[in-house]
Structure 1
């Protein structure tokens, strides 16, 4: 079945990845620690990594799902990624499909590309064939 509103590489996995949170925190958390009295202390590698790991654990359950990795040509590849994903490092995994929404036009009058959950795709109007 051909869905006319879809584009090539139309399926992506959305969710929360522990690795992406940790990567962002590594850039954000300073190696300097402010102590009472305005003293700045350089943290050791272990102390800094412990601080990053602790903050990662806090944020892992709170952040909203984002796109994980590249887009796939077919939904079965995205489903395979979800099946193989380690539940310790990923959660809230779901598939979204790229959809040209003809109800929303960009400034050039072309349909806007949006990512919708795969379950909702069946209820959306089809885009015209090119």
Structure 2
């Protein structure tokens, strides 16, 4: 059975990531709150204008639930490149003489 998830970029995700990763000290100078907020906004804009996609949702049992989640994301705010992807077995064969491991999986766009 396949599982489905929504991938893309939403402003909410970009904002949370920017808040976590924007430093408060640059070149041994403590930023004021307004300077830090400006740096966060610049980082959000950079993330939203880029091409990076991340998994935005939990896994769903059926693609229609992922489509409903995409509709909610579009209503909630700015977002880009929203896609439903399915987790499927990878077609890779293990190397000769390698120990048997769990089958590898990968995310593929839902056609």
Q: What's the TM-score once normalised by structure 2's chain length?
A: 0.79
User: For 2:72 and 2:17, how far apart are their aligned partners in 1?
Assistant: 24
Which structure has more strand as a fraction of its residues?
A: 1
Residues 96 and 42 of structure 1: is their aligned pair in 2 closer, same or farther, counting only changes over 3 Å?
same
| Gapped regions of structure 2 (runs ≥ 5) | none
> Which residue of 2 is the match for residue 97 of structure 1?
86
Q: Which runs of 4+ in 1 moved over 3 A?
A: none
Report how many residues are paired.
106
| Gapped regions of structure 1 (runs ≥ 5) | 1-5, 35-39, 120-130
Q: What's the TM-score once normalised by structure 1's chain length?
A: 0.69
Aligned-residue offset at 1:100: 1.7
Give the superposed CA RMSD. Answer: 2.1
Which structure has more helix as a fraction of its residues?
A: 2
